[in-house]
């Protein structure tokens, strides 16, 4: 990579966190062709560890993932970067899961989602 290249010239980085490998592959297949750098994680704790060294432009996280759920990940990411853009995905809960939470995702998308919906949510957040 050219050292003179500015950060703004780099494609946006999107972290996708989900414990289902097929859904990670789907998100990768949707977002990479749109020009995003995509990093996928099955373990939210590993995503958080990388987040501390390489903050993405957008984090997309599933809700139900075991020891650390998507709301836990959102809270921790926002603790490190209060303006971090976050999308919460779920096939098991709806917006009520964060209605009273002090930290909320920017966008919520129900699984199964349409390909264009995921792409549009990311595009909207990056434009904000």
Report the pLDDT averaged over residues 77-90: 97
Query: pTM of the entire structure?
Result: 0.91
Report the pLDDT averaged over residues 13-41: 97
Residue 5 has pLDDT above 60, yes or no: no
Structural contact between residues 31 and 6, judged by C-beta atoms closer than 8 angstroms:
no
Could you tell me which residues are beta bridge partners of residue 71? Answer: none
What is the C-alpha to C-alpha distance for residues 11 and 112, in angstroms, rounded to an integer? 27
Could you tell me which residues are beta bridge partners of residue 20? Answer: none
pLDDT for the residue numbered 8: 58
Q: Is the dihedral of CA 95, 98, 100, 102 positive or negative?
A: negative
**Which pLDDT band, with edges at 50, 70 and 90, does 66 fall under?**
confident
Phi, psi of 45 (to 5 degrees): -70, -35
Q: Is the dihedral of CA 95, 26, 40, 55 positive or negative?
A: negative
Q: So where are the chain's domains? A: 11-113
User: Regarding the domain with residue range 11-113, which homologous superfamily does it belong to in the CATH classification?
Assistant: Response regulator (3.40.50.2300)
Structural contact between residues 63 and 90, judged by C-beta atoms closer than 8 angstroms:
yes
Locate tokens 């990093």: which residue? 39
Q: Render pLDDT for 31-46 as a digit per residue (tens, 0 to 9).
A: 999 999 999 999 999 9
Q: Render pLDDT for 87-116 as a digit per residue (tens, 0 to 9).
A: 999 999 999 999 999 999 999 999 999 999
**Helix, strand or coil, per DSSP, at residue 122:** helix
pLDDT for the residue numbered 128: 86
Report the pLDDT averaged over residues 44-54: 95
pLDDT for the residue numbered 1: 37
| Residue partners of 45: CB distance under 8 A and separation at least 6 | 67, 68
């Amino acid at each position: 990579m050219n050292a003179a290249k500015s950060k703004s010239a780099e494609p946006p980085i999107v972290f996708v966190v989900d414990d289902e490998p097929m859904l990670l592959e789907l998100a990768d297949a949707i977002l990479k062709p749109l020009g995003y750098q995509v990093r996928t994680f099955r373990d939210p704790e590993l995503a958080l560890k990388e987040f501390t060294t390489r903050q993405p432009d957008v984090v997309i996280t599933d809700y139900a993932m075991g020891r650390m759920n998507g709301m836990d990940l959102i809270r921790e990411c926002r603790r490190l970067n209060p303006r971090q853009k976050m999308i919460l995905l779920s096939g098991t809960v709806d917006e009520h899961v964060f209605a009273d939470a002090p930290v909320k995702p920017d966008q919520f998308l129900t699984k199964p989602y349409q390909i264009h919906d995921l792409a549009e949510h990311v595009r909207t957040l990056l434009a904000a």
